[in-house]
């Protein structure tokens, strides 16, 4: 039976986050330059976005470019930025057709102007779409976001808008650039690496992690469905015991 048919609609994650990894190795295995892997990674982005929209996942966050990725060779950074601009511009029509809203998190002002312009245009155009949120993490790192939130809260305390006693999990969450969406229930990382790599450190506190050795350009809809089925077969205890959960259900 295909994995899609094994998915229980009642237990769908509302938010899936993905660390798309392995583009470089995929290209190398074919004797090609790294950018060839990134270009083929765009196909997987399309597949996964479509798959999520089709089955009813409401939020999908993709780690497309981390703060640390700026340290890659300049030629690769330039090629990735160019690819982002091209992809965002060519995919806007499909996002509109599928009623998907494009959002972005990260230090967006550090992106090249052409990239930011294309991104802002696409975000404006798709702003009233409501079938699914596609959230691109661009020039993003969780530590960057956390420091930004801490500074904002410190400023509010300093100007006496809030007191130290007002600081709690809810307030902190509301300051993060991810505050509009629920925290991901499922994190997927491809390519066999088992790291978070500075991605959504606060938001992933209780997420289920799914690792696969598949390299990102090879990741298909069926791979996504398989990850969701795996997630649905897990018991999410949030610190409670298994017995407590059974009691809560009754
Ligand atoms: C990780 O593979 C991938 C990236 C850093 C870039 C991801 C970008 C894309 C899939 C293309 C554009 C995306 C969008 C959303 C338009 P890696 O280069 O670290 O691979 P490696 O670990 O094998 O070297």
Ranges of each domain in the chain: 12-141+182-236
Classify 191 as helix, strand or coil: coil
pLDDT for residue 44 is more than 70: yes
Instruction: Determine whether 168 is an active site residue.
Output: no
Calculate ∠ Cα 220-225-227, nearest 5°.
Answer: 95
pLDDT over 90, % of the chain: 93
28 C-alpha to ligand 1 centroid (Å)? 13
CB atoms within 10 A of CB 30: 12
41 C-alpha to ligand 1 centroid (Å)? 7
| DSSP state letter for 35 | H
- Tell me the residue length of the chain: 250
Contact between 190 and 21 under an 8 Å Cβ cutoff? The reply is yes
Q: What is the pTM of this model?
A: 0.94
| DSSP state letter for 159 | T
Calculate ∠ Cα 185-189-195, nearest 5°.
Answer: 100
CATH superfamily of this structure's domain 12-141+182-236: Decaprenyl diphosphate synthase-like (3.40.1180.10)
Q: pLDDT per residue over 181-208, tens digit each?
A: 999 999 999 999 999 999 999 999 999 9
pLDDT for residue 223 is more than 90: yes
Rg (CA), the chain: 19
C-alpha separations of 22 from 34, 40, 67, 200 in Å: 10, 11, 18, 19
pLDDT for residue 250 is more than 80: no
Instruction: Determine whether 5 is an active site residue.
Output: no
220 C-alpha to ligand 1 centroid (Å)? 15
For a substitution probing ligand 1, which of 17, 18, 21 has the most ligand atoms within 8 Å of its CB?
Answer: 21
| Position in ligand 1 atom list of the atom nearest CA 44 | 10
List ligand 1's pocket residues with C-beta within 6 A: 20-25, 34, 38, 41-42, 45, 62, 64, 69, 83-84, 87, 136, 191
């Amino acid at each position: 039976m295909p994995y899609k048919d094994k998915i229980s609609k009642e237990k769908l994650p509302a938010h899936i986050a993905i660390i798309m990894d392995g583009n470089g190795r995929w290209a190398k295995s074919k004797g090609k330059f790294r950018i060839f892997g990134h270009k083929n990674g765009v196909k997987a982005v399309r597949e996964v976005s479509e798959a999520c929209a089709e089955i009813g996942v409401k939020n999908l966050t993709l780690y497309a470019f981390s703060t640390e990725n700026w340290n890659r060779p300049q030629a690769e950074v330039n090629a990735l930025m160019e690819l982002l601009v091209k992809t965002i511009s060519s995919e806007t029509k499909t996002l509109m057709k599928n009623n998907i809203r494009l959002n972005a998190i990260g230090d967006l002002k550090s992106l090249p102007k052409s990239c930011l312009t294309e991104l802002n245009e696409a975000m404006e155009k798709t702003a009233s779409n409501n079938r699914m949120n596609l959230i691109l993490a661009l020039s993003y790192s969780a530590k960057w976001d956390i420091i930004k939130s801490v500074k904002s809260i410190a400023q509010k305390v300093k100007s006496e808008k809030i007191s130290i006693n007002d600081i709690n999990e809810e307030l902190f969450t509301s300051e993060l650039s991810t505050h509009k969406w629920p925290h991901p229930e499922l994190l997927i990382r491809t390519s066999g690496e088992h790291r978070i790599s500075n991605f959504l450190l606060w938001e992933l506190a209780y997420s289920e992690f799914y690792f696969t050795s598949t390299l990102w350009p090879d990741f298909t809809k069926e791979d996504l469905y398989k990850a969701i089925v795996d997630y649905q077969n897990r018991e999410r205890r949030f610190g409670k015991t298994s017995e407590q959960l059974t009691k809560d259900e009754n």
